[in-house]
Amino acid sequence: MYILRSLYLLWLIPRSWIDAFLVRNKPFALRYACMKKWSEKLLSHYRVILDVQFQEQLPKEQPILFVCNHQSEFDMLLQMAV
């Protein structure tokens, strides 16, 4: 099972580089959508389940800054997926 997952990752990484190369000169919204798609794909590959709690308590009328402490390699993927 782990061998198949590793092989799948070996296929995903070059494919993500190609996608990044193709959208490098596109508007920010398109680049962001591409990064979000790849983040969700990698998280689903590792069977990570996101459970966002207390989302309704976040202020909607002012900006919010989320900071990762980089405890794992999933920090940035999680931020992009959410």
- The mean of the pLDDT values for the chain is 83
Q: What is the pLDDT of residues 26-48, one digit of tens each?
A: 899 998 898 888 888 888 888 88
Percentage with pLDDT > 90 across the chain: 6
User: What is the pLDDT, as a whole number, of residue 1?
Assistant: 64
How many helices (H) does the chain have, and how many strands (E)?
3, 0
Using CA atoms, how far residue 11 sits from 3, 19, 32, 63, in Å, is 13, 13, 22, 37
Confidence at 7, pLDDT banded by 50, 70, 90: confident
| Token pair in block for residue 41 | 């794909």
- Collapse the DSSP code of 52 into the 3-class scheme (helix H, G, I; strand E, B; otherwise coil) and give the result: coil
Distance (Å, rounded) from C-alpha 74 to C-alpha 46?
Answer: 10
* DSSP label of 69: -
Whether residue 19 has pLDDT greater than 90: no
User: What is the pLDDT, as a whole number, of residue 27?
Assistant: 93
